Structure 1
Amino acid sequence: MVMMKGLNDNEIADFISWTKHNPIQIRFIEFMPFSGNKWTSNKMFSLDEILSVVKKDFKVLPVKGEPHDTAKSFMIPGHEGSFAIISTMTNPFCDTCNRMRLTADGKLKNCLFSDSETDLLSALRNNEDVLPLIQSNIWSKKKALGGQLVSDFEKIDATTIQNRSMITIGG
């Protein structure tokens, strides 16, 4: 669930309680800026804020992550399930990210925040070799946050972002 200050941050403990008798993993996601979602930093509910809320009622234990994880995982002793936090804004994982995303309309994105895409669908329809396109897309990946965002999320001006809405990227 995408966490937003003043909108759903009061539901965190309820979702954690849901993992008591259910072997599921709840994922809390920091609100990220995308075209059309009216992102502002004051709506962001951070990793630390989420953990602070959970720790009020539960003992939280970190779970060792795997290489290239995009989420930080945690468990509550005695719970069948667990929870994780995707902290793109306050604790980016760009230096270990190996994710690529293929949109529903056949475009390849090398980062959710990338301002460019590679059209694989047209190449496939024209019987062209897509491997060079994929390789070029991978090599053009920016160092962090699609090259568009600064790591200090409070200084991000979401109106300047060149990207799709998340719903049209897929996720």
Structure 2
Amino acid sequence: MPEEGVTLSPAANLLTSDEIVRLVEIFANHGIDKIRLTGGEPTVRADIVELVGRIRNVPGIKDIGLTSNGIVLAKKLRLLKEAGLTKVNISLDTLDPHKYMLMTRRNGFSKVMKCIDVAEELYPKVKLNTVVIRNINDGEVNDFVEMTKNRRIDVRFIEYMPFGGNHFSTTKFIDYKTLLTSINERYEGLVHRLQDSPNDTTKAFKITGSEGQFGFITSMSEHFCGTCNRLRITADGNLKVCLHGTTEMSMRDLLRSGASSEEIAEAIQKAVQRKKKQHAGT
């Protein structure tokens, strides 16, 4: 969390559940079958269970994922699964409780670990998202990998990248090859690469004999723009065709101006056609 905290958007600026479901219906009518609810923190929505259920009932939607910080998710996870949630990602950057408090500015480490336990009970695989920062948590990479040996956990090490409020510095960046070298030194001869699927954003690996796996999201050192097929809509309804991009188009304004589903779909298509070749700018 940024030192200065985060500025909350006025509730009136956020998409309503009805608006979210309508957008899902538009996307589903044009071939999208996977939806992921991220954040911010999606579990702060009072109606998150109902929303997941409504999305699951949209014809054509096959997978619904959710990315959470895990603080309150454990309390809601069983209901979310019953509502139709098919995949869970939990953000966790450290396995050290003290460091967790320093990095997140909250005392919630035990709740997150409990959430991981509950998620493992309910799902065949649980993904952990771990942003790696030099001299902060890069020394814990092998500890995270060790978790995958006897647990159905997929740890995804994410290269540190610039975002608003994170005071990005190249001195904090560490590339995935450096991390992989450290892992290979620890597990000599036991690390093997897994076969990638089309449109994968992760370079996946596994320790021989382990139940889980790990991988790297290499947005900075080896971008995957050419195979990226993700579209993102912010909580306040802005469409982003690239996570790194600054260009956004307001779906909320279109919805509230009375635009038809066909007009909204056409606007989305035009935005996708304007997508840059690489990292929103080259």
SS in 2 for 1:29: strand
Match of 1:155 in 2: none
Select which of 142, 163, 170 maps to 2:276. Answer: 142
Which residue in 2 is equivalent to 1:32? 161
Name stretches of at least 5 consecutive residues in structure 1 with no aligned partner.
149-171
Runs of 4+ residues over 2 Å off in structure 1: none
SS, match of residue 146 in structure 1: coil
Match of 2:238 among 90, 107, 128: 107
Partner of 2:113: none
1-side partners of 2:141 and 2:246: how far apart? 32
| SS of structure 2 residue aligned to 1:20 | coil
Q: Give the aligned partner of residue 209 of structure 2.
A: 78
Distance 1:122 1:41 in 2: 37
Aligned counterpart, 1:133? 267
Task: Name which structure has the greater RCO, CA cutoff 8 Å, separation 6+.
Answer: 1
Superposed displacement of residue 138, structure 1: 0.2
Distance in 1, Cα, partners of 2:233 & 2:204:
25
Q: CA deviation at 1:119?
A: 0.4
Code of the residue aligned with 1:56 in structure 2: it is E
After superposition, the CA RMSD in angstroms is 1.0
> For structure 2, which runs of at least 5 residues remain unmatched after alignment?
1-129
1:43 to 172, 193, 200: 172
Separation in 2, partners of 1:101, 1:115: 12
The residue number in structure 1 matching 2:134 is 5
- TM-score when scaled to structure 1? 0.84
Q: Structure 2: how far apart are the matches of 1:136 and 1:145?
A: 18
SS of structure 2 residue aligned to 1:42: helix
- Percent identity over the alignment is 39
Using the TM superposition, give the Cα deviation of residue 85 of structure 1 relative to its aligned residue in structure 2, in angstroms: 0.2
Deviations 1:86-116 (A, max 9, x none): 0111111111111111111111100011111
**What TM-score results when the alignment is normalised by the length of structure 2?**
0.51
Alpha-carbon separation, structure 2, partners of 1:73 and 1:50: 13
The SS at the match of 1:69 is: coil
Supply the AA of the counterpart residue of 1:75: K
Which whole-Å CA distance do the structure 2 matches of 1:15 and 1:34 have between them? 24
CA apart distance, 1:78: 1.2
Residue by residue, what CA displacement relative to the aligned partner does 1:32-54 show, whole Å, maximum 9, x if unpaired? 11122111112111110110111
State the aligned residue count.
Answer: 148
Question: Is 1:18 aligned to 2:152, yes or no?
Answer: no
Look up the equivalent residue of 1:114 and give its one-letter code.
Answer: G
Could you tell me which residue of structure 1 aligns to residue 218 of structure 2? 87
C-alpha distance in 1, partners of 2:218/2:179? 10
Structure exhibiting the larger radius of gyration computed from Cα positions: 2
